[in-house]
Amino acid sequence: MTQDELKRQVAEAALEYVVEDAVVGVGSGSTVFMFIDLLSSIKNKIEGAVAASEASAERLKKHGIRVFDLNSVSELPVYVDGADEITAHLHMVKGGGGALTREKIVAAVAKTFVCICDASKLVPVLGKFPLPLEVIPMARGHVGREILRRKAQPVLREGFKTDNGNLILDCHGLTILDPPALEAELNNVAGVVSNGLFARRGADVLLLGTPEGVKAYKKKN
């Protein structure tokens, strides 16, 4: 099976989690794009969607799915998004597409976070995928030095601006043994808008695409 076939499998499986007559939260990335395309087949059964990126909002609108501003929505039963890395504890590294801040906000509002990804994303320890930080432009140097102090290498994502007008520093060489602690620590560095660790609010369900079919993992309480 190709990686795209694995992604499609989980995108399809995620439709089962969409709540009828409600607004669904939608993340970003290629797996989520497949989910959006499939969501169009049940668009008459939902009220609409909240999107975590401009690109996802545009794709939803192209399919004729109503896009709501998050501030006009009081309840979001389900949020569907991908990940760059995920552990069996359902802690994630996200932000490969640079939409981490809005993804974190929508995830914070949602009752259930359904993560969809192919089997290559499941890892024993986070950090091989460079950890993205969204950074206010004037803080680039300061944040970079703070990352170097932590024995990691910050690399500016060249020619990239987030939907919020900020920069992304991709941090290489981290071995993340305590994801919730590092997430909180990096949030405290002045100039960091948010970081790509989704551990304090991780996923509730992981739908993992494997050649043997979709495997579902649930958060242990």
Instruction: Give me the least distance between CB of 151 and ligand 5RP, in Å please.
Output: 24
Q: Which of 9, 28, 56, 166 binds ligand 5RP (CB under 6 A)?
A: 28
**Cα–Cα distance between 184 and 151 in angstroms, integer?**
18
Smallest separation, CB 211 to ligand 5RP (Å):
17
The answer to the question of residue 84 lying near ligand 5RP (CB under 6 A) is yes
Is 98 a binding residue for ligand 5RP by CB under 6 A? The answer is yes
Least Å from the CB of residue 149 to ligand 5RP: 26
List the beta strands (DSSP E) in 119-203: 131-135, 153-156, 167-172, 192-195, 197-198
134 as an active site residue: the answer is no
Distance of alpha carbon 102 from alpha carbon 53, whole angstroms: 7
Of 8 and 152, the one with the shorter C-beta distance to ligand 5RP is: 8
* Biggest CA-to-CA distance, the chain: 52
CB nearer ligand 5RP, residue 18 or residue 56:
56
Q: Which of residues 102-121 bind ligand 5RP (CB under 6 A)?
A: 103
Least distance to ligand 5RP, CB of residue 132, Å: 8
Q: Side chain identity at 92, as an amino acid letter?
A: M
Binning the chain into helix, strand and coil, the percentages to the nearest 5 are: 35, 30, 35
Among 56, 81, 179, 217, indicate the residue that binds ligand 5RP (CB under 6 A): 81
CA dist 195 → 66, 174, 175, 187 (Å): 29, 13, 15, 7
| H-helix or E-strand spanning residue 11 | helix 3-14
CA 44, 83, 219, 193: dihedral to nearest 10 degrees?
Answer: -100
Selected from 30, 40, 112, 187, the binder of ligand 5RP by CB under 6 A is 30
Out of 20, 75, 103, 185, the active site residue is 103
Give the residues lining the site for ligand 5RP (CB under 6 A).
27-31, 81-84, 94-100, 103
- For the annotated catalytic residues, the residue numbers are 103
